[in-house]
Amino acid sequence: MTWMQAVIICAAVCVAAAERRFPEGFKFGAATASYQVEGAWNVSDKGENIWDRFVHSRPEAISDRSTGDVACDSYHRWQEDIQLLVDMNVDFYRFSISWSRLLPTGFSQRVSADGARYYGDLIDGLLAKGIEPIVTLYHWDLPQPLQDLGGWANPMISDWFADYARVAYNLYGDRVKTWVTINEPTVICDIGYNNLIAPGLESEGRGSYLCTKHVLLAHAKAYRLYERDFKPKYQGQVSLTNHMMWFEPATEQDVELTELVKTLSIQRYCHPIFSSEGGWPPALERYIAEKSREEGEPRSRLPPFTQEEKEMLRGSYDYLGLNHYTTRTVRPAAPGEHIGTHLFDGFKELGVVLGAKPEWPTTMSHWFMVHPEGLRALLVSMKQQYGDVPIFIMENGLSDTGADLDDQPRVDYYRSYLEQVLLAIEDGVRVVGYTAWSLLDNFEWMDGYQSRYGLHHVDFSSELRTRTARRSARYYAAVARTKDIHAQYQFNKTNTVKGV
Ligand SMILES: *[C@@H]1O[C@H](CO)[C@@H](O)[C@H](O)[C@H]1NC(C)=O
C-alpha cells in the first residue's frame, strides 16, 4: 500500500481504538454464589446441602480446611453487599439461590418461609437501588437428600429441578427478568465426579456423563416451563452458563486433537442446546462409542438422548451464557504419562495433557494463565458455530492471594480481557453483558479462602467480615459508569485493613 493509504487506514483504526467504548445498553455487573458467600448454613429451617456435607466430612479436601459455614456472612450482610454494588455503578448483580435454603428437603412440597423472605428482600433491595437481579438457580449446592437418591446421576432429578425452578419463578418471576438455570455443568459433572469437589464421587467417564445428560435435561425442563407458564406474563429470559476455557494446539500436529478437546469440554454442553441439529456433538459421540466398544462396554458410556429429549433441548435458550478465565494448550499425553485429575490438567478420555505457552503470565492457580486473546477467539467461535445469538459473559476475573488492596494485576487483567470483548464486538459478535467474578472475596471451593477473586477484600478474621474496596473495584466502577476501559479513577489506599 502507499503511505497515503497507510495513513488513512491508521487514522480510521487508531481513532476507533482510542474511542473504543462499549455500546449503550451493554450491561456490567458482578457475581457471587450462595454457598461461597451466604454462610448461615444451619439457620432457621435450611436443609443440608452437598457442600455442607463435603466440608464437614472431608476437611482435608479443602486446602486450608475451611468451610462456608460463615463465609462472607452475606445472609446477614446483604445490605452491605448492595452498597458495594451501588458504589461500583453496576447494572446488575448475579447471585444464586441456595436450593436447600428455599426447599429444605430439596422437594417442592415445603417452601421455607425464611428462605423465601431472604431472597425476596435481596431482590427488592437491589431493585430499590436500580440494580437488576440476575438469579442463578443452581450454583453447585445440591440438597443432600437429593444426593442421597443419586443426585445428578438419577434421571428423576430433571423433574425435581423443574419443580424447584417453578417455586422460584412463582416467587420472584415478577421482579427477576434474567434467569440462569445451571452454572457450569462441566464443573458439576467432571470435577464433582472426579473426587475433587462435592459430592466427591469417583466416576469419571460414566457418572460424569450421566450427570451431563441430566444437568442438560434439568436445564431444558426449567427453560420449557418458563417459556410456557411464565414468559407470556413476565417476558424474562432464561439460559444456562457454561465454563469455557479456550484451547490452542501446542504444535501444528495437535490441531485435530484440539478440535476434539473442544467437542468434549465446550460443545458437549453447547451442541445439544445451541446447534441447529441438536444432540451430542457427532465427533464426540462417535469417539466415545468407539472407545466404549474397545473397552468391552455393552453400550456407549455417553448415554443417548431420545428424539423427544433432543427436541426439548434444542433451542432451549434466550441467550448464550459463558464463564471464561483462561486459555490452555493441547498435546497428546506421552505413552504412560500421568494425566492429572484436575479438570484443567488434561482429559483422560482423550489422552490429552493441557499446557501453556511460556509467554502467557501465570497466576497463583496452577491452571490459570493470562491470555486475553483467547476470550476474543472463544467469542468469535461461538458466533461461527451457533449463529448470531446474544452472548452474556457471566463470569470473568482473576485470583490472587488477596495480600494487597492495590491489586494492579487484577486491573490489568480486567482491562485486557475487556479490550478483547470490545474487539469481538467489532468482529460482529453480539456480546450483551459482562460479569466480574467476584463482587467480593469468598469461599473458593477446594482452595478455601486462600484464593481470592474479590473486587472487594473481605477480612475473614473479623466477625464483621469487613469489606474493603480494592483498586480493581474503583477501576471497574469507572468502566461501568463510562463504558470506557481507559476511564480515569481514584484509588486511595488510606484505609488499610487488618490482614492486608
Ligand atoms: C450451626 O453451626 C455452627 C457451626 O458452624 C454451630 O456452632 C452451631 O451450634 C450450629 N447451630 C445450630 C442451631 O445447630
CA distance 458 to 291: 48
Domain residue ranges of the chain, discontinuous segments joined by +: 3-482
Q: Where are the alpha helices (DSSP H) in 401-444?
A: 408-426
Per-residue pLDDT, 40? 98
Per-residue pLDDT, 13? 53
Per-residue pLDDT, 20? 85
Atom of ligand 1 nearest to the CA of 43: 13
CA distance 122 to 98: 13
Distances in Å between the Cα of 17 and the Cα atoms of 193, 372, 419 are 45, 17, 10
Helices 408-426 and 373-386 cross at an angle (nearest 10°) of: 30
DSSP state of 43: S
42 C-alpha to ligand 1 centroid (Å): 6
Weakest mean pLDDT among 140-149, 342-351, 430-439, 473-482: 342-351
The per-residue pLDDT for range 113-134, each reduced to its tens digit, is: 999 999 999 999 999 999 999 9
CA distance 68 to 41: 8
3 state SS of 247: strand
Average pLDDT value for the chain: 95
Q: Which residues of 117-147 are buried (b: 16+ CB within 10 A; e: fewer)?
A: ebbeebbebbeeeebbbbbbbbbbbbbbbbb
Q: Which three cell numbers stand for residue 383?
A: 458466533
Catalytic residue among 38, 132, 184, 419: 184
Per-residue pLDDT, 498? 53
Per-residue pLDDT, 492? 87
Per-residue pLDDT, 19? 72
Max Cα-Cα span within the chain = 75
The pLDDT of residue 495 is above 90: no
111 C-alpha to ligand 1 centroid (Å): 22
Quickly state the pLDDT bin for 343 (edges 50, 70, 90).
Answer: confident
Catalytic residue among 48, 395, 419, 444: 395
Residue located nearest, by CA, to atom 4 of ligand 1: 69
CA distance 158 to 168: 15
Average pLDDT of the segment spanning 439-464: 97
Per-residue pLDDT, 17? 57
71 C-alpha to ligand 1 centroid (Å): 14
The pLDDT of residue 389 is above 90: yes
Q: Which three cell numbers stand for residue 259?
A: 478440535
Per-residue pLDDT, 500? 53
The pLDDT of residue 334 is above 60: yes
Q: Which CATH superfamily is domain 3-482 in?
A: Glycosidases (3.20.20.80)
Residue located nearest, by CA, to atom 10 of ligand 1: 42
CA distance 54 to 140: 12
CA distance 397 to 206: 31
Residue located nearest, by CA, to atom 2 of ligand 1: 42
Contact 264, 186 (CB under 8 A): no
Contact 49, 142 (CB under 8 A): yes
Share of the chain above pLDDT 90, in %: 92
Contact 257, 352 (CB under 8 A): yes
Residue located nearest, by CA, to atom 11 of ligand 1: 42
Quickly state the pLDDT bin for 6 (edges 50, 70, 90).
Answer: low
Residue located nearest, by CA, to atom 14 of ligand 1: 42
Contact 460, 500 (CB under 8 A): no
Side by side, the strands of the sheet bearing 352-355 are 246-249, 327-332, 352-355, 346-347
The per-residue pLDDT for range 366-384, each reduced to its tens digit, is: 899 999 999 999 999 999 9
Q: What are phi and psi of 268, to 5 degrees?
A: -50, -35
Contact 352, 333 (CB under 8 A): yes
The pLDDT of residue 14 is above 90: no
**Cis omega (within 30 of 0) on the bond before 199?**
yes
The pLDDT of residue 18 is above 80: no
69 lines ligand 1 (CB under 6 A): yes
45 lines ligand 1 (CB under 6 A): no
The per-residue pLDDT for range 280-327, each reduced to its tens digit, is: 999 999 999 999 999 999 999 999 999 999 999 999 999 999 999 999
227 in active site: no
| Residue among 38, 41, 42, 70 whose CB has most ligand 1 atoms within 8 A, to mutate | 42
184 in active site: yes
The pLDDT of residue 487 is above 90: yes
Placement of cell 456472612 in the chain = 73
The per-residue pLDDT for range 20-62, each reduced to its tens digit, is: 899 999 999 999 999 999 999 999 999 999 999 999 999 999 9
Name the residue among 397, 408, 429, 444 with its Cα closest to residue 28: 397
Contact 500, 404 (CB under 8 A): yes
Quickly state the pLDDT bin for 9 (edges 50, 70, 90).
Answer: low
The per-residue pLDDT for range 151-201, each reduced to its tens digit, is: 999 999 999 999 999 999 999 999 999 999 999 999 999 999 999 999 999
39 C-alpha to ligand 1 centroid (Å): 11
Average pLDDT of the segment spanning 454-478: 98
Name the residue among 153, 137, 285, 278 with its Cα closest to residue 219: 137
